[in-house]
Structure 1
């Protein structure tokens, strides 16, 4: 039987190795940030003291394209909606831009 921890570790290692071989640079964006998204914008997950857990990574990641033509990030995301049997409150997401 496969160990899920080892399986996830192997998958992430292979994914990172493949992207680096294609000249992608891995970057990270903050998990905690100050945010006031304004009217009509999707609400972030509240943490405390005016700080929010990010609901997605992508928009902040695009800023890095002015420094390198290919970037990616694998990071934790947090749903603002209530979790249900199909959706966990936290999940991993791959974002890449070229």
Structure 2
């Protein structure tokens, strides 16, 4: 089943975060992933949630998403992100095809 990775990012070093972004796309593609949302404008409908940057990725499965996150390829980018931003990330298993009820 497909999986989504949701990332809330608070960037404190924009220049270094740009470097992180340069390293990330190829790692996502290598694992069959794609961006669904990348830093688009958000608006809170309920609660007190106003992320500085929201990213949503789609992968073929939860296991593939975990493999990407743990991969040597992404580790380089991840270490840059750790220096440039504070993040929260979770993986969600979709119960069926994305976009299908």
Superposed pair shares fold, TM > 0.5: no
Q: Which has the higher helix share?
A: 2
TM-score normalised to structure 2 length: 0.33
- Structure with larger RCO (C-alpha < 8 A, sep 6+): 2
